[in-house]
Structure 1
Amino acid sequence: MWLNQEQTIDSAIRAYRESLLKASPNHIVIDNLFNSENLDKVMSVLRNTTCWQTQKHTYSALYVDSAQWLDASKDERFVSRDVWQREEINTDSANIAQDFLSFLRGNEFMSLLSRVFNVPLTDINVAKPEINTNYFRLSAADFVHQHADDSPGRVACMLLYLNKEWNNEAGGELMFMGKNDNAISIEPIYNRCVLFDPFSEGSEHWVNAVTSEDTNVYRYNVTSWYWSE
């Protein structure tokens, strides 16, 4: 239902693995890994503006409240974005968005990633695995500044972009620091999947600002983190 099977045959997996190891940071960009028709149905759910809540992080503390955010200096703030509120979604039409998140933490997809990264992935020691896979959106008022995703035991990160008709003047590019500070830019176009090793050299990253002056324009993505045994 979710994967384009021609993108997951053995020869494709071998090519992904080879490309991942050659790149610095260790990353790969895969377009059209997922079934676009089903992603369209997911997007029909995500466009419901009532199901989002602003999430803010500082370098010293995650999930800060408004008082902590106001007390933090501008240099200490590194994320301001909207996160999808699963618990607020109870309609039948929203089930497909929930189902996709469950698929990304299920055996089929984690087995695929295990083959690509050549590391067995598991949630056996993850206290709340569901919070490590969710939808996010950014507007021109939001930001994701430079940071690393190298939490202990985390071996794979996935980003999936859900932005149709996104153009290179809209901003929102994923930026890897890269080797020797040669930054790598990746445009967040629809059904583009980025996999990367958060401990590889140059994997620190940020997101270029969304440039649209229209406050109703959002950059959508799924972010998912995975651990080894």
Structure 2
Amino acid sequence: MWLNKEKTTNAAIRSYRQALLHANPNFVVIDHLFNDTELNNVISTLLLDNNWHTQKHSYSALYVDNAKWQKTSKKQRFVQRDIWQRTVPSSDNTSAAIALNNSASEFLAYLRSAEFIALLSKIFKVYLTDINVANPAINTNYFRLAAPDFVNLHADDSPGREVCMLLYLNKHWHSNLENNGGELVFKGTNNCPIKIAPLYNRCVLFDPSSAGAEHWVNAMTTENTQKYRYNVTSWYWSL
């Protein structure tokens, strides 16, 4: 249902594995990994403003409240973005809104399913499992960035975390990529950063502990006519 089967053949998985081994950091970009038709319903949900609230992190503390945020210096602020709420707000509990929300929630659940985790395990040749993850659901969610928002340089290499996934859900992203902003940038090695545009149904998989995997997101530019940049972020652990 969710996967594009042409992108999950044994030959395709071997090619992803080779790309990982020859890239610094160890990453692979897979375009159209998921079913476009199913993702359309997900995108319809993301366009509903009531489902979002702002998330702020500093380098010294996650989930900073507004009082602490105001006391945090700009150099210590590394994330300001919106995170999606899984439940339908009471102000928008129509049948249509609930159905859309269910579709988006089902996709998040799929990204933590045995089928999808097994696919990632094959690509990375490591046994991934949620058996020791206290609350797997909070490790997979939708995020959006507006022009004032930011994701500054950071690493995702928590102990036991083997794979990070980013999936972009930006339809009609401006064709002039250099003037668009919003690119994922890996620090890379030998002073050679790697820039990846957040194109629709583009999946980026990477090993957060590999050299050069530290990353940030370029700010959206004034040339970009889209109000938000949407993505799914998901993290996976081994035993």
- For 1:131 and 1:75, locate their aligned partners in 2 and report how far apart those are by CA, in whole Å: 27
Aligned to 2:233: 223
Distance 1:214 1:53, change over 3 A: farther
Aligned to 2:135: 128
The one-character-per-residue Cα deviations of 1:51-104 (angstroms, maximum 9, x if unpaired) are 100000000000010011111110000000000011336612211100000000
- For 2:236 and 2:191, locate their aligned partners in 1 and report how far apart those are by CA, in whole Å: 26
- For 2:161 and 2:194, locate their aligned partners in 1 and report how far apart those are by CA, in whole Å: 22
SS class of match (1:221): strand
SS class of match (2:105): helix
CA contact (8 A) 1:157 1:225 kept: yes
Match of 1:139 among 142, 146, 155: 146
Amino acid at match of 1:193: C
RMSD between superposed Cα atoms in Å: 1.3
SS class of match (2:19): helix
- For 1:68 and 1:54, locate their aligned partners in 2 and report how far apart those are by CA, in whole Å: 14
SS class of match (1:105): coil
Distance 1:31 1:64, change over 3 A: same
SS class of match (1:188): coil
- For 1:213 and 1:32, locate their aligned partners in 2 and report how far apart those are by CA, in whole Å: 26
Query: Within the alignment, does 1:182 sit opposite 2:189 as a pair?
Result: no
SS class of match (1:44): helix
CA contact (8 A) 1:119 1:228 kept: yes
Q: Post-superposition shift, 1:181?
A: 2.1
Q: Post-superposition shift, 1:165?
A: 1.4
TM-score between the two structures when normalised by the length of structure 1: 0.97
The one-character-per-residue Cα deviations of 1:117-172 (angstroms, maximum 9, x if unpaired) are 00000011111110000000000010000000001100000000001111212210
Amino acid at match of 1:166: W
- For 2:202 and 2:3, locate their aligned partners in 1 and report how far apart those are by CA, in whole Å: 13
1:1-229 matches, within 5 Å, as 1-88=1-88, 91-167=98-174, 168=177, 169-212=179-222, 217-229=227-239
CA contact (8 A) 2:180 2:223 kept: no
CA contact (8 A) 1:140 1:215 kept: no
Q: Post-superposition shift, 1:212?
A: 3.5
CA contact (8 A) 1:140 1:213 kept: no
- For 1:154 and 1:181, locate their aligned partners in 2 and report how far apart those are by CA, in whole Å: 25
CA contact (8 A) 2:161 2:208 kept: yes
- For 1:181 and 1:127, locate their aligned partners in 2 and report how far apart those are by CA, in whole Å: 37
Q: Post-superposition shift, 1:216?
A: 6.7
Identity of aligned residues (%): 62
Q: Post-superposition shift, 1:195?
A: 0.2
Uncovered stretches (5+) of structure 2, i.e. residues with no partner: none
Deviates more, 1:143-152 or 1:211-220: 211-220
Q: Post-superposition shift, 1:211?
A: 1.2
Uncovered stretches (5+) of structure 1, i.e. residues with no partner: none
SS class of match (1:64): coil
CA contact (8 A) 2:86 2:101 kept: no
Deviates more, 1:44-53 or 1:161-170: 161-170
- For 1:56 and 1:181, locate their aligned partners in 2 and report how far apart those are by CA, in whole Å: 29
